[in-house]
Amino acid sequence: GGVQQIGTRWFECGWTAVVDRTGRIGLGSSGRFQLSNGIMTRIQRGEELGDIMDALSGEHDMRNKGGAMGVLTCDALNRDEAYSHGIVFAFAPFVSNPMYWKQDIPVP
């Protein structure tokens, strides 16, 4: 995962990579979700998001359960489901028409 600042707000998402036998790489990510200023302050102090979510939720090992995504959406979308989108997106260069991945795409 990783955090990204957009304007004055902070967002988190999960990144995925697919590599074929020739070394070609496809990248994808889950959807982003906003982090509160309080959570972000703790991350900037060096804490891991999973540890913060454990402390706030009273649960143990949330990173391997529903993750922050699950906690913050009341399990409407858990980490596994969100990351599955990133995996599908990472496969895009391998399953879509190669014309979309050319360096020079002609303009009509």
Predicted TM-score (pTM) above 0.85: no
pLDDT tens digits along 33-90? 999 999 999 999 999 999 999 999 998 988 888 888 888 899 898 888 889 999 999 9
Place of tokens 């998001």: 49
d(CA 57, CA 28): 28
Residue 10 makes CB contacts below 8 A (sequence gap 6+) with: 3, 4, 34, 35, 37, 40
